Structures are given as C-alpha cells and as structure tokens.
Amino acid sequence: MPLPPEFHEMAARVNNWGRWGAEDEIGTLNLITAESVRSAAATVRAGLRIPLALPLRREGVQTGLVPGRIDPLHTMTLINDEMFGPGSVAISDDAVTMGLQAGTHWDALTHASHSGRIYNGRPADTVTAAARSRFSGIDTLPPAVSRGVLLDVARAKGLDRLPAGHAVTPDDLDEAAEFGRVTVGAGDIVLVRTGQIGLCLAGDRSGYGFPSPGLSVRAPAWFHARDVAAVANDTLTFEIVPPEIEDLWLPVHALHLVEMGMPQGQNWDLENLSTACAQERRYAFLLSAVPEPFVGGTGSPVAPVAIL
C-alpha cells in the first residue's frame, strides 16, 4: 500500500539529497572530517578497548524471518595440509557462507528504498542481481572512525532492558544524553542502548527479535538536527516492531538510509560498553567500525571497537 502523507512530511524534513552534490554516494559520512577524528582520538584516556560485535557462529541471531539472511555456515577447506610434501609446513584454511546483515553489521544506503528511489534520488532499479548496488554500495563508504557516543536509554531509566513495546523518542535521547553528560554533535556516531541484546546473549533468540523496542519514527529528525554521521543499536530490527504507525513497516530505515543517507547498524553488543561508560563516568569515546568492503554490497559485517 502507498506510504501515508505523514511519512512523506517526515521525509521532507530530513532529506539530504543534493546536500553534498548530485554525485554523492556516502551521505552523512561526509560529516566525519579530519577534525572529527582528531577530536575523537583526544577522548582516549584509559586505553580500554571494548569489542561490540557478536560472535559469528551457526546459532546466531537470525531466525529465518528475512529470506536468505542465514547465520554463518563455517566449514574447513584444509586441515593441517602438507601441501608442499610430507614434512613441509602444514596449513589449515576455512570458508564461510552467511548473510551480510546476519550478525553485527552496517546497512549500506542501498539496503532500503521507497517510492522507487534510493539515496540522493537515484532509481532503486540500480540495485540488481548482476551488478548488486551500482551506487552507494557498502564498499563506497569511507572508514567509519569518529567520536562514538553511547546514549544508554535503558540505564538512564534505571532499567536493564526497555520493554518490548518501547519506542525510543527524541525525549528519550535527550534524557540519555543528559544522563551521560554528553552533547551529540556533527560527525558523531551514536550508539543507542535498549538492553534488548541481553536476551540474545542469554540464549533467547526468538524473544530477542519480535516484538522489540527500537527507534521511534520521530528519532530521525533528532539525528538530522545534530548532523549525526551514523547510528547503531542493540536490536535485530533497529526500529520498534510492531511499528508505531499501523501498516507502516521500516519507516526509520527509509528515513535514515534513503532520505538522510545515514548508515545504520544492528545487533551491536553494547552491554560491556554500558558498564565501562558507567564506571568511567563518560559516554564519549573513539569508535572504529569499518565495514568489510564487499563490492556492491547492501550491508557488511563489522567488528566495532570502542576505545575509552
């Protein structure tokens, strides 16, 4: 069914098409500058390195809801093979088959389209089986290294995990920023913690996915106003499911990826980071989250690291 007028009104308020030129393919990652990186490096004090990726394994977070998005199938192709003759150095090798968005990942700008368009007004049919993404594939993105900011919405409310039906609103983001004594600014990569991934870490894969807390359809305007470079969170669907507006599925994907040109990440493990930030009493850090450059990919696994 057609997208409602309410969606198109929100889209017009956050649209970035043409902001960085008609040929632009990287969207809000333009906001990460050399100065952004220098400022991010200056936040490192203790040298703590907090990994934020889920382990890649066969029993991962995917349950079959999205066709073809399979958890990693890891097989050995060589095991202690003395390929240069008996007594020579032996090698072991392996291979993996998986959905690029199966685990902790970034969505490329071409992961979503609406009304026949992808980011910067290009036709959605530039994504094909043969060419993959002709524009704005995951391989076109520059290194995602900048100041990371944890907006710990759950901890700010005194909760381990937000209720399944909780939509994270601009008010929630303001509350979390005030709790963390941090001001979100241009070029920041924002990590929004709901605590939902705690279910996954405890082995409850079905409870992790649906229903789920997530970003409200009103959140994109908050990120747009602050010139945020990218956003990731600790849920399977990123935005609240079931949706706030009846029959309007994945509107936040469309607003972020298509209208704003802002990458978004899912299935990030923010639990240890939440603890570390609370102990250090600071919620800004250097974040490195560089995707694998699959040519034409609509997403990519990532192994992010927060450095405090």
Q: pLDDT of 203-236, one tens digit each?
A: 998 899 889 999 999 999 999 999 999 999 999 9
Q: pLDDT of 132-180, one tens digit each?
A: 999 999 999 999 999 999 999 999 999 999 999 899 999 999 999 999 9
All structural domains of the chain with their residue ranges: 5-65+98-307
Query: What is the pairing mode between strands 305-307 and 230-233?
Result: unpaired
For position 2, what pLDDT does the model report? 84
Decide if pLDDT at 22 tops 80: yes
With contact defined as beta carbons under 8 Å apart, do 212 and 235 qualify? Answer: yes
Q: Residue 191 in 3-state DSSP?
A: strand
What pLDDT band is residue 63 in, cutting at 50, 70 and 90?
Answer: confident
What percent of the chain shows pLDDT beyond 70?
100
More confident residue, 65 or 259: 259
CA dist., res. 34 & res. 208, Å (int): 38
Decide if pLDDT at 76 tops 80: yes
Decide if pLDDT at 100 tops 80: yes
For position 261, what pLDDT does the model report? 98
Structure tokens at 70: 């399979």
Query: In the predicted model, what is the mean pLDDT of residues 275-296?
Result: 98
Fold of 5-65+98-307: Glucose Oxidase; domain 1 (3.50.30)
Structure tokens at 73: 């199938």
The rounded mean pLDDT for the chain is 97
- What is the DSSP track for 214-265? EE-TTHHHHHHHTT--EEEESSSSSB-BS-SSTT--SHHHIIIIIII---EE
CA dist., res. 141 & res. 9, Å (int): 28
pTM of the model: 0.97
For position 252, what pLDDT does the model report? 98
Decide if pLDDT at 1 tops 80: no
What pLDDT band is residue 189 in, cutting at 50, 70 and 90?
Answer: very high
Task: Give every strand in the sheet of 305-307, ordered side by side.
Answer: 49-51, 305-307, 284-288, 145-152, 189-193, 230-233, 264-266, 105-107, 299-301
What percent of the chain shows pLDDT beyond 90?
95
CA dist., res. 67 & res. 37, Å (int): 38
How many beta carbons lie within 10 A of that of residue 86, not counting itself?
Answer: 5
What pLDDT band is residue 193 in, cutting at 50, 70 and 90?
Answer: very high
Query: In the predicted model, what is the mean pLDDT of residues 250-256?
Result: 98
CA dist., res. 260 & res. 107, Å (int): 13
What pLDDT band is residue 115 in, cutting at 50, 70 and 90?
Answer: very high
What pLDDT band is residue 65 in, cutting at 50, 70 and 90?
Answer: confident
For position 64, what pLDDT does the model report? 85
